[in-house]
Amino acid sequence: MTERFIRVQGVEQAFKTPQGRFVALRDIDLDIAQGEFVSLIGHSGCGKSTLLNLIAGLTRPTQGVLLAANREIAGPGPDRAVVFQNHSLLPWLTCFENVYLGVERVFGRGERKAQLKQRTDEALALVGLGHAAQKRPGEISGGMKQRVGIARALAMQPQVLLMDEPFGALDALTRAKLQDELLAIVQQTRSTVVMVTHDVDEAVLLSDRIVMMTNGPAATIGEVLPVRLPRPRHRVELAEDRQYLQYRKAVIDFLYTRQAHVEKAA
């Protein structure tokens, strides 16, 4: 994983507010390789979601430039799919229809309906929801809804999967199950993933690198931690793994020791 696929260069993001100019992010420089899984972690208000939105093209930076495959990110595109904490499914459509909408938008002009249906079926099968294709969101659990959201994103065959705390609203057991499923999906699809999380264990379990953000306002990248744990990863085996525990301690030390002092001094 040496190719620089996503490049964030000298990025600042500021907003106009009634109290004046608010700088959310400053001096952000980050390269992400193709096929890499990168987590963004930090305290609330550190600009994690703001950075993710910039990569998604949902907002434009005040300064600096963002590139995807050597092209400037000037807006949203099918090469970058986003999964939010809120699954955003249309309640009157079935799971199949919710996924099919995205597939049709991306591939509808060049493919027949049979091909679009096949893409949709394959995406639902990838997240283990082939059996629930004809159910509506009101008939399935929260974890299943989030899997439909992931299927919808993967069905568009994006080059980059952007995830904003995708499991944050789920109970602990459901969250763990979906983390394990995501590990398997990423292993199979070799997707490039950028994920926002507050969960230290989630970041260490899933990531190739953890980008730790300083406290806002004017947040920046405080440290980037490479996670050199072999894949495939299994949470039970890692629970007492010395290297895993060292990575976990490093993130906790950054968040609750080094950044805690900044918060107290503010």
**What distance in Å separates the CA atoms of residue 146 and residue 140, rounded to the nearest whole number?**
10
The β-bridge partners of 209 are: 38, 226
Given a cut of 70, whether residue 1 has pLDDT beyond it is no
The token pair at 171 is 């109970």
* pLDDT in the model for residue 220: 96
4, 251, 186, 44: CA torsion to nearest 10: -90
pTM: 0.91
Q: Return the minimum-mean-pLDDT range out of 97-111, 176-190, 201-215.
A: 176-190
> What average pLDDT does range 140-146 have in this prediction?
91
Give the tens place of pLDDT for each residue, 89-107. Answer: 999 999 999 999 989 988 9
Question: For residue 259, what pLDDT is reported?
Answer: 81
CATH architecture of 1-73+203-266: 3-Layer(aba) Sandwich (3.40)
pLDDT digits (tens, 9 = 90+) for 145-176: 988 999 999 898 899 999 999 888 788 888 89
